[in-house]
């Protein structure tokens, strides 16, 4: 029987896999203490994980105490979000550690509903989160978040983000009347997007989720060239025609060197609310196959459930409307997986130095 040692502890934790990052917990160990046959371990995850830290600590403790030579293990698991590398020579946005774009390539797959619930799920996991509705022609996040009134401008140049359910949010939908059509050409649309992004006073965000319009047009090109994006998420349904366009969105991000964190399959199955019969009305497993073929993560699947639609229409999306439900837990698992995959990317090396003020005393 080998006595307890730091090498033994790290070796044991290298066999315990984090289900969200796919990495061993040993890679996240910050410190190890050994006192005879008692050990203490400090683990720090690189993503918001309020819904996982207790399970991670329990798994690590069980693995350690099952090892001969370790009689007792005390395990502490915390998390911290870092800023990660963005594409090209772009500089990160002030006040925003990471921007995650959510795209579909095709309309009608529930991308905006996934975007708002992803943002709310990241917030439920403990992160500071913002949501930008980049669909200028068909904004919907103001309705999904139940936003009302107009944003405040403290200086006549910038605007305060709207607040809802713990999120900071901005959409062209809060600046115009709901039934006003945006009859604009491409350059005006892209200018409006950049103003919404840069003129909003985002406050110390861990993540800013950008809900993209469908397609690979002006907005997407502007995003890839001018907006410092840390990663992207592709939303699709299992249907072949949706997967065709989802692959185009994937190809677009790869061309502009934005890491694709994974694929979310929405409307994966339908469960009848009357009889309970489950049916794959749009096919089955298309998102998982796409992810496997592309060599990226499959972040999870979501059902076609009437509650998701109703709650979004009512301005209180699923994650906050029924936080203890299986649906909300699915979104939270997808959020942890998304943030965990981002945590594996290279960190942004830009360093913010403190301001030094010299005063006569």
User: Binding residue per annotation — 109?
Assistant: yes
Q: How many C-beta neighbours within 10 Å does residue 53 have? A: 18
With vertex at residue 230, the alpha carbon angle to CA 218 and CA 103, rounded to the nearest 5 degrees, is 45
Q: Where are the beta strands (DSSP E) in the chain?
A: 29-35, 38-45, 72-79, 96-103, 129-133, 162-164, 167-171, 205-211, 231-236, 260-265, 270-271, 278-279, 298-301
Among candidates 337, 325, 332, which has minimal Cα distance to 126?
332
DSSP string, 120-131: HHHHHTT--EEE
Q: How many helices (H) and strands (E) does the chain have?
A: 11, 13
C-alpha distances out from residue 339 to 86, 160, 263, 264, Å: 15, 26, 13, 13
User: Binding residue per annotation — 186?
Assistant: no
Asked if residue 56 lies in contact with residue 20, where contact means CB atoms within 8 angstroms, the answer is no
* Tokens found for residue 330: 């699915």
Alpha carbon distance 121, 123 (integer Å): 5
User: Binding residue per annotation — 217?
Assistant: no
Alpha carbon distance 303, 280 (integer Å): 9
* Tokens found for residue 318: 């699923």
User: Binding residue per annotation — 22?
Assistant: no
Asked if residue 296 lies in contact with residue 260, where contact means CB atoms within 8 angstroms, the answer is yes
| Three-state secondary-structure class, residue 133 | strand
Q: How many C-beta neighbours within 10 Å does residue 355 have? A: 5
User: Binding residue per annotation — 283?
Assistant: no
- Residue ranges for the known binding site for ATP are 105-112
- Residue ranges for the known binding site are 105-112
């Amino acid at each position: 029987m080998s006595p307890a040692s730091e090498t033994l502890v790290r070796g044991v934790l290298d066999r315990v896999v984090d289900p969200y990052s796919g990495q061993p917990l040993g890679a996240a160990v910050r410190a190890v203490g050994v006192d005879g046959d008692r050990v203490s371990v400090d683990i720090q995850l690189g993503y918001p994980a309020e819904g996982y830290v207790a399970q991670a600590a329990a798994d690590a403790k069980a693995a350690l105490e099952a090892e001969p030579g370790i009689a007792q293990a005390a395990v502490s698991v915390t998390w911290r979000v870092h800023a990660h590398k963005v594409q090209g020579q772009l500089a990160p946005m002030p006040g925003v550690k990471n921007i995650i774009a959510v795209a579909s390539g095709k309309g009608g797959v529930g991308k905006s509903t996934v975007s708002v619930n992803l943002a709310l799920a990241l917030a439920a996991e403990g992160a500071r989160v913002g949501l930008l509705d980049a669909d200028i022609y068909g904004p919907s996040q103001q309705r999904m978040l139940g936003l009302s009134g107009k944003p405040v401008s403290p200086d006549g140049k910038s605007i305060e983000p709207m607040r809802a359910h713990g999120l900071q949010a901005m959409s062209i939908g809060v600046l115009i009347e709901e039934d006003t059509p945006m009859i604009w050409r491409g350059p005006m649309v892209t200018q409006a997007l950049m103003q919404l992004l840069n003129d909003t006073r985002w406050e110390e965000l861990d993540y800013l989720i950008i809900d993209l319009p469908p397609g690979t047009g002006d907005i997407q090109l502007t995003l890839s060239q001018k907006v410092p994006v840390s990663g992207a998420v592709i939303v699709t349904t299992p249907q072949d025609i949706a997967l065709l366009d989802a692959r185009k969105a994937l190809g677009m991000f790869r061309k502009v060197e934005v890491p694709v964190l994974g694929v979310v399959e929405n409307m994966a199955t339908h469960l009848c609310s009357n009889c309970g019969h489950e049916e794959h009305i749009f096919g089955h497993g298309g998102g998982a196959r796409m992810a496997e073929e592309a060599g990226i993560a499959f972040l999870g699947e979501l059902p076609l459930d009437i509650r998701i639609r109703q709650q979004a229409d009512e301005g209180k999306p699923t994650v906050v409307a029924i936080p203890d439900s299986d649906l909300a837990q699915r979104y939270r698992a997808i959020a942890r997986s998304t943030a965990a995959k981002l945590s594996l990317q290279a960190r942004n090396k830009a360093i913010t130095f403190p301001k030094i003020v010299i005063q006569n005393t």
